[in-house]
Amino acid sequence: MALRWGIAGTGAIARGFADALGRLPGAELVAVGSRGRATADEFGEKYGITPHRRYGSYESLAADDDIDIVYVASPHSHHHEHTLLFLESGHGVLCEKPFALNAGQAAEMVATARARGRFLMEAMWSRFLPAYVRLRELVTAGEIGTVLSVEGDFGFRLPMDPTHRLFDPTLGGGALLDLGVYPVSLASMLLGEPSRVAAFGQLGETGVDEHLAVVTSYDSGAFAVAKASLRANLACAGRVTGTAGSMELPAFMHCPDELVVQRAGTTERLHLPAARDGDGGDGAAETAGGGLHHQARHVHERLSSGHLDSDVMPLDETVAIMRTLDAARAQLGVRYPADNA
């Protein structure tokens, strides 16, 4: 099934995703929306979008009704507003992670998609990568027994810059929402919604979390630990431990090329590259290690089979993940302006 895509935003991940669409059979990138016409033109020129569909505002992109689905690639702070804009103008939406700033926003986005009968999915691209698909298959088949713990960390030392979106509270800055969402989502995928959440961390001078850990526990007795940092280079690895073995997602845990499976005294390294051959140019490889096409292909498959959501990244789970992030953020003491809305 051919799908006509629009992209909202022209930043780093928007470029990566445009590259990914460029090599996905059936995907057509037909329009782009940006806050300015010049950036829309520059992006459109690079990705072959016809000049009259390079829009200098998000509202103009929303008014283009010859689009099947819009990829929202704006900062976290604008996911809610932009997703509602495109849903209400009749488009399906694939919205970047973290899906929203808080669970209230996320629930409203999901309710709007359902009320309007439009496709909606959080772009948690890791779940569609070969290593994550294999991990789910092995867990479901009972290959490592019952999962008892999930650990993951993602962090790097970023020089403090109050204007950078990761440090700016008005853009939803902080390590938890941008990086910690990956291990929190991995734990959710395997263990569901936690019954308890405990968070510890350090805030920086702009008031956002710069170094943190979130421990979650589950009715099953399992627990998970997620760490994220803008102050230190963490291992950026993931580990899933069960009663009969374990699996490691080596760096980077959100886009691994390998799955290391240990059981019954054996270690197996499964080579499962995230990117395709040739994903080496700027764009996808630069921003996300390549592999963004897997989630886009899933969107094509879901829409062509008549679905309005994903069975791999379900909307109710996306809202539950936001609840976990809310609970952690409240304990860390990070508030965004939108939390008062």
| Nearest CB to ligand NAP, comparing residues 73 and 106 | 73
The H or E element that residue 225 is part of is strand 223-229
| Nearest CB to ligand NAP, comparing residues 79 and 300 | 79
Look up residue 205 and give its two tokens: 């001078």
> What DSSP string describes 248-281?
EEPSSTTS-SEEEEEETTEEEEEE--SSPTTTTS
Binding site for ligand NAP (CB under 6 A): 9-14, 34-35, 39, 73-76, 78, 96-97, 123, 125, 165, 171, 178, 287-288
The H or E element that residue 54 is part of is strand 54-55
Q: Give SS3 for 240.
A: strand
Shortest distance, position 119 Cβ to ligand NAP, whole Å: 18
| Nearest CB to ligand NAP, comparing residues 83 and 246 | 83
Residue 307 phi/psi, 5-degree rounding, is: -95, 155
165 neighbors 75 (Cβ within 8 angstroms):
yes
C-alpha distance from residue 149 to each of 144, 197, 242, 320 (Å): 11, 14, 7, 19
Catalytic (active site) residue 97: yes
| Nearest CB to ligand NAP, comparing residues 180 and 201 | 180
177 neighbors 214 (Cβ within 8 angstroms):
no
Residues in the chain: 341
d(CA 109, CA 103): 10
Shortest distance, position 326 Cβ to ligand NAP, whole Å: 17
| Nearest CB to ligand NAP, comparing residues 75 and 183 | 75
Shortest distance, position 18 Cβ to ligand NAP, whole Å: 11
Shortest distance, position 178 Cβ to ligand NAP, whole Å: 5
Shortest distance, position 313 Cβ to ligand NAP, whole Å: 12
Torsion, Cα 20 261 316 128, to 10 degrees, reads: 10
Shortest distance, position 148 Cβ to ligand NAP, whole Å: 29
Shortest distance, position 35 Cβ to ligand NAP, whole Å: 4
Contacts of 336 (CB under 8 A, 6+ apart): 77, 101, 102, 169, 170, 172
CA angle 97, 100, 103 (to 5 degrees): 125
d(CA 317, CA 303): 19
| Nearest CB to ligand NAP, comparing residues 14 and 138 | 14
- Of the residues 97, 127, 239, 294, which is catalytic? 97
Residue in 68, 66, 86 with CA at minimum distance from that of residue 9: 86
| Nearest CB to ligand NAP, comparing residues 39 and 149 | 39
Residues catalogued as catalytic: 97
